[in-house]
Copies of this chain bind each other. A is one copy, B any other.
Amino acid sequence: MTASSRPDHPRLRRSAGDRRAQLVQIGLELLPTTPVQELTIDEVARQAGISRSLLFHYFATKREYYTAVTRAAADLMWEHLMPAPGTPPEEQVEGMLDRYVGWVETFRETHLAFVRGAAGGDPWVAEVYQETRDRLVEVALTTLELPDSALQRQLVLAWLAFAEELIGQWAAEPTMTRPELLALLRDVLGRLTR
Q: Report which A residues bind B (CB closer than 8 A).
A: 35-38, 115-123, 126, 149-151, 154-155, 157-166, 169-170, 173, 175-176, 188, 191-192
Distance in Å: Cβ of A179 to nearest Cβ of chain B: 15
Given contacts A37-B121, A121-B35, contact A161 B165 (CB under 8 A): yes
Known: A35-B122, A154-B175, A162-B162. 12 other contacts (CB 8 A): A35-B121, A36-B120, A38-B121, A117-B120, A149-B175, A150-B175, A151-B175, A154-B166, A157-B166, A159-B162, A160-B165, A161-B162
Q: What is the CA–CA distance of A188 and B194 in the complex, to the nearest angstrom?
A: 13
Q: What is the CA–CA distance of A150 and B191 in the complex, to the nearest angstrom?
A: 24
